Structure 1
Amino acid sequence: MNALLNKSLFLVKEHLGIFKAANNYDIYDPATNELILNCREHNLGFFSKIIRFTKYKKMTPFYLEITTVSGEKIVSMKRPTTFFRSDVEVFNEKDQLIGLFKQKFWSMGGKFEVTDQNGKPVCVLQGKWTGWEFKLSQNNKELAQVSKKWNGLGKELFTSADNYVLQINDTVPQDHKDRKLILAAVLCIDMVLKE
């Protein structure tokens, strides 16, 4: 596992754009303000690009890839076209399935069951009704939290770009396989719930 995933604090900044179809993110170390990871949405189809400019954009498929600044793949996520709820697959650097985010119906603030590749529950990703904070918990123990960072009135009103802070608790061991799922949770929140 890449040592960058052993950090406990990440700042995820979505690229600004008034008319953009693809979603791209930069991931920083907030302590040093250093860019440590990139997340790019590759291979967005022509029809998906068109639909992204309509009210149906939440239904479009996506494929995101998180890499180091030098291009080494860390994790990727994909979702097919969806109509009612989203199931997002998460893959490791070798394109092997490592987990899923299964969206739950009728939850205030958004809720996902996070499972491993065999469908065994790993944790729950639950948002507050205000939509500004999310927690990943396992057996009522918090593993990590994701908070939306305020961008300022101009950016909030005129763009769809959001910034998030991910804080992983010390209870999650370094080099633990679930750290990839925890990092992917931030992008799942933005792509499924906030876009």
Structure 2
Amino acid sequence: MDFNTTKGEGNMHPSLRNNQYFVKEHVGMFKSANNYDIFDPQTNQKILECREPNLGFFTKLLRFTDYKKMTPFNIEIRTSDGQLVCSVKRGISIFLSKVDVSDENGSIVGHFKQKLFSIGGKFEVLSAENAILCTLQGKWTSWDFRFIQGNTELASVTKKWAGLGKELFTSADNYMLSINDSVDKDDNIRTLVLASVMCIDMVLKE
């Protein structure tokens, strides 16, 4: 199946070629940063870490207020040994969010843009040239999101997966990301899909 996405140049990081990822949030009562660990659910090995290493003082304070959704973020996704895989960045958001995704070299891979008057949470996944690649659709209340292109589902994000014990799915933001195995292993859409999961909480949560 040939998806109308955006191919890389054959140098995509191996960790972005998986079809399933378990994303586990770092839990803390006074946690201001977005910190996640990403595991391969087939091996239970941690393959990626997501951190906000340069969170400013005032941003930290605002994360504990009703202005959390408006705060900027710059999330870095790295391998366990520190290699940068991609980064997800947004400035101050007054009304609708636009998020930039860059590869390990700092080159823009694509963007996310929140849709006006969307119900339940919805944003467009764009290429570096701002062409629409797919749309994230779903309901925050049931934690069921789908990346849709036309009538085709490219990937899904859910808190339900039969392969993991219920103890992993706590009140924290833990997700299972599944990418359609028909999506090319070197397609930049994989980077964008994984990156989007890192900021669903910041962009869509009400």
C-alpha displacement at 1:84, in angstroms? 1.2
Q: Structure 2: how far apart are the matches of 1:173 and 1:155? A: 32
Query: What TM-score comes out, normalization by structure 1 length?
Result: 0.91
Tell me which residue corresponds to 1:136: 147
SS across alignment from 1:50: helix
| Partner residue of 1:56 out of 67, 71, 74 | 67
Unaligned runs of 5+ in 1: none
Residues 159-170 of structure 1 correspond to what in structure 2 (within 5 A)? 161-170=172-181
C-alpha displacement at 1:189, in angstroms? 1.1
Residues 79-98 of structure 1 correspond to what in structure 2 (within 5 A)? 79-98=90-109
The 8 Å contact of residues 71 and 91 in structure 2, kept in 1 or not, is answered as: yes
The 8 Å contact of residues 145 and 166 in structure 1, kept in 2 or not, is answered as: yes
C-alpha displacement at 1:155, in angstroms? 4.9
Q: Does 1:28 align with 2:28?
A: no
Unaligned runs of 5+ in 2: 1-11
Q: Structure 2: how far apart are the matches of 1:131 and 1:102? A: 22
38 and 129 in structure 1: CA distance in 2 versus 1, 3 angstrom threshold: closer
The 8 Å contact of residues 40 and 65 in structure 1, kept in 2 or not, is answered as: yes
Query: What TM-score comes out, normalization by structure 2 length?
Result: 0.87
| Partner residue of 1:40 out of 38, 51, 74 | 51
* Higher relative contact order (Cα pairs below 8 Å, separated by 6+ residues): 2
Q: Structure 1: how far apart are the matches of 2:158 and 2:22? A: 10
Identity of aligned residues (%): 55
User: Could you list the per-position Cα deviations for residues 147-189 of structure 1 after superposition, in whole angstroms to 9, with x for gaps in the alignment?
Assistant: 135976x952xxxx31000000012011212110011121121
Matched residues, number: 190
- Aligned-CA RMSD value: 1.8
Runs of 4+ in 1 over 2 A off after TM superposition: 128-131, 148-152
